[in-house]
């Protein structure tokens, strides 16, 4: 196969698929993650005083989950999920107003927002690739609870839910955790996707993601098809072994996910990250939810999904200067490599 | 200082300047680069047969430089700069035509172009931070020669000249080298900059880069002012210790640089990278020239410059999902830290 330049489904983003020296899974040497449990991990049970008071804790009680908050004086114990403000927030509700512009060249706004940590499990190493399904479900529920709260704040327009796995992908602590940054603006990539999906709808009369699901669902980019979700290696993958989890039902808003979809999403997340970890020796990765912003007048043709980016290559001078990316692993090859390990994860779940 | 959200001078790009936990130079632990000289370095003199024939070699002759090409049978020896096609090119002139679109979702084009290596010196470790000025001048001349040749090719629209320093920044070989990728399209970041500079001109009646030079030339973002160039830490720096080298004279086209500017540019490059290396223990970095594309009807308000990005942080799930960046080193602090070491480099040059 020759090298090709591919355009993203909807973004004005080009990727050079470097197929001539295509990198198979065995070409990536991923060192084993450091497996030790930090003795003074501030996310571990017993160390709740090392973090700000929790904004949300899930406490098991009589077979159910009750939801509580810490106060300055009180730190709840025995939690199964725990959420609190990042000690070093990128955006914070405690910002002073700043002058919006001090010259034609210098435009700024206050760093207002929320930056929340979701500790996914009391078990330090219960990452999604090995987590119990029930635990993953609680983690996902907590993200949705926070999202709902942020979207109730009149100043917040978007909340980015994301995860950094391993130090090489930017995780400064190894305890399993997710982050949410809620902000008063719609980030560029999301607004570009919404614009692109609106344009596609105007032209073709359908949601582009629904079209992706139809087309890729029967082609070489399909990795796995479950009840409510598809795992797909996208046509113009920027990252080696990149994959997306797409809900089959058209739904812009993550808060619109049904109970039955929740269960299937968590399963799909578990097997996809499990398969990735098996294939590539638990590689570093980042993932981010792509969801409709709060004001949903313009968003009806958007379609929420999750994008997972294994961190196996370096963006160098070319990528940083041009915005054109070079991906050494064609997505068709990524899909072929990921299919078997992900199917095995599914099989082992259902035994 | 509080965190701030800043907008780029002209791009629709936002950066959270995380000033509250601002990272000073001493917060970055940069491990010393591996200093060994590869015995079988294919870029070193004597190993010319390990690379494709040179498209351009500079040979010293009677105190002058003559320019030659290798052929399949001949590899010139005694060169001072040597340029040849990358063995694993991202884009190549030997592509077959591909179908431009195979469905509404799948748009692609042939990976046509050129991907050239410029070996900057016969000395393995003569990187720009320590290079002799004359040698750096030859390297720059060779880049301009290649650029001219590419822009004479009717299919080529843009040539990205870039450099990756150290393995952590994507350099697969440690011999001092630059790369050029010439392509039949204008990359997104450059076309966005051109659009932004046109819009600024329409509104304000001047080149935005000339305005940047005027304004930042007397403010806290100035690092160094030389005869023909300024070194500036830009207002919305994406990378810690990012700096730009800007020519004072308005000129869109890198091929329009004068002989006197060439000499001063090479000096500015030498002292800026020398100062950076002294300040941060020779950190990995990428740089890229931002220049006018070939068809220059639309480009008269563009202004060529060089952007240098030290690689000291990781873009994680937040950055990759949103296109919003977090920079832990305010550019005012970067400028303050870089001023002294760069001035010292200048002083030691002129002794």
Provide the CATH number for the domain around residue A296.
3.30.428.10
How far apart CA B127 and CA B138 sit, in angstroms, is: 13
| Mean of pLDDT over chain B | 94
In this prediction, residues B315-340 reach a mean pLDDT of 97
Chain A positions in Cβ-Cβ contact with residue B205 (cut-off 8 Å) = none
Report CB contact under 8 Å: A4, B185: no
- The set of residues, in sequence order, having a beta carbon less than 8 Å from that of B190 and lying 6+ positions away, is A322, B158, B290, B291, B293
ipTM of this model?
A: 0.95
A80 vs chain B: nearest CA distance in angstroms? 24
User: What band does B40 get if pLDDT is binned at 50, 70 and 90?
Assistant: confident
Exposure pattern of B2-25 as b/e (b: 16+ CB <10 Å)? Answer: ebbbbbbbbeebbbbbbbeebbeb
Per-residue pLDDT of B268-307, as tens digits, reads 999 999 999 999 999 999 999 999 999 766 788 999 999 9
What token pair was written down for A16? 């050079």
Test A162 with B289 for CB contact under 8 angstroms. no
Query: What's chain A's average pLDDT?
Result: 94
For residue A52, the SS3 value is coil
Residues of A recognised as catalytic: 177
- B151 CB-near residues (< 8 Å, 6+ apart): B159, B255, B294
**pLDDT tens-digit readout, B100-157:** 666 789 999 999 999 999 999 999 999 999 999 999 999 999 999 999 999 999 999 9
Measured in degrees and rounded to the nearest 5, phi and psi for residue B305 equal -165, 175
Give one DSSP letter per residue of B179-248, joined into a string. Answer: EEEEESS--HHHHHHHHHHHHHHHHHSS-HHHHHHHHHTTSTTEEEE-SSEEEE--TT-SSTT-EEEEES
* Cβ A309 vs Cβ A237: under 8 Å: no
On whether any CB of chain A is under 8 Å from the CB of B109, the answer is: yes
**With a CB-CB cutoff of 8 Å, which residues 120-159 of chain B face chain A?**
none
Locate A43 and state its tokens.
């996310």
Active site residue B303: no
Classify residue A71 as exposed, middle or buried by CB count within 10 Å of its CB (0-12, 13-18, 19+): exposed
pLDDT confidence bin for A20, thresholds 50/70/90: confident
Cβ–Cβ contact A88 with B under 8 A: yes
Is B2 close to A95, i.e. CB distance below 8 A? yes
Instruction: Please provide residue A224's backbone torsions phi and psi, each rounded to the nearest 5 degrees.
Output: -160, 140
Contact A188 B6 (CB under 8 A): no
Q: Mean pLDDT check: name the lowest of A112-121, A270-279, B34-43.
A: B34-43
CA B168 to the chain's CA centroid: 16
Q: Coil, strand or helix: which one is B78?
A: coil
Q: What is the pTM of this model?
A: 0.96
| Whether A7 and B107 lie within 8 Å, measured CB to CB | yes
Q: Please list, residue by residue across A120-149, b when 16 or more beta carbons sit within 10 angstroms of its beta carbon and e when fewer do.
A: bbbbbebbbbebeeebbbbbbbbbebbbeb
Domain span including residue B226: 4-350
* Cβ atoms of B303 and B209 closer than 8 Å: yes
Domain count, chain B: 1
Which SS3 state, helix, strand or coil, does residue A26 take? Answer: helix
Interface residue A310 vs chain B (CB under 8 A): no
Picking from B169, B183, B321, the nearest residue to A314 by CB comes out as B169
Chain B residues closer than 8 Å to A160 by CB: 318, 321-322
pLDDT at B100: 61
- Residue B104 token pair: 């509404």
pLDDT tens per residue across span A215-267: 999 999 999 999 999 999 999 999 999 999 999 999 999 999 999 999 999 99
List the catalytic residue out of B177, B239, B290, B305: B177
Half-sphere exposure of A307 (CA within 13 A, CB side): 25
pLDDT digit string, tens, across residues A75-106: 999 999 999 999 999 999 987 666 666 678 99
Decide if pLDDT at B351 tops 60: no
Given this model, what pLDDT does residue B314 score? Answer: 94
How many residues appear in chain B?
Answer: 351
């Amino acid at each position: 196969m020759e090298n090709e330049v591919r355009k993203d489904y909807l973004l004005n983003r080009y990727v050079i698929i470097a197929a001539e020296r295509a990198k198979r899974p065995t070409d990536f040497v991923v060192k084993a993650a450091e497996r030790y449990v930090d003795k003074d991990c501030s996310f571990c049970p017993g160390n709740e005083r090392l973090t700000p008071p929790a904004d949300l804790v899930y406490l098991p009680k009589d077979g159910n989950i009750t939801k509580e908050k810490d106060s300055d004086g009180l730190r709840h114990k025995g939690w199964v999920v725990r959420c609190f403000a990042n000690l070093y927030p990128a955006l914070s509700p405690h910002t002073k107003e700043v002058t919006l512009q001090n010259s034609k060249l210098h435009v700024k706004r206050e760093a207002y927002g929320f930056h929340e940590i979701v500790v996914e499990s009391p078990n330090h190493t219960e990452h999604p690739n090995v987590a119990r399904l029930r635990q993953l479900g609680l983690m996902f529920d907590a993200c949705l609870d926070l999202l709902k709260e942020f979207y109730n704040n009149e100043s917040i327009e978007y909340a980015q839910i994301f995860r950094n796995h391993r130090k090489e992908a930017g995780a400064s602590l190894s305890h399993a955790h997710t982050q949410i940054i809620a902000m008063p603006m719609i980030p560029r990539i999301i607004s570009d996707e919404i614009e692109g999906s609106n344009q596609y709808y105007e032209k073709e009369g359908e949601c582009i993601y629904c079209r992706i699901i139809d087309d890729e669902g029967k082609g070489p980019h399909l990795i796995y098809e479950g009840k409510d979700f598809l795992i797909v290696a996208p046509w113009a993958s920027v990252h080696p072994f990149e994959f997306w989890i797409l809900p089959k039902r058209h739904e812009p808003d993550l808060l619109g996910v049904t109970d039955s979809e929740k269960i299937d999403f968590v399963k799909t997340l578990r097997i996809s990250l499990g398969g990735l970890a098996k294939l590539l020796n638990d590689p570093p990765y980042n993932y981010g939810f792509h969801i409709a912003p709060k004001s949903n007048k313009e968003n009806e043709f958007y379609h929420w999904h999750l994008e997972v980016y294994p961190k196996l290559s370096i963006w160098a001078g070319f990528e940083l200067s041009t915005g054109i990316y070079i991906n050494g692993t064609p997505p068709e090859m990524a899909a072929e490599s990921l299919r078997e390990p992900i199917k095995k994860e599914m099989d082992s779940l259902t035994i």
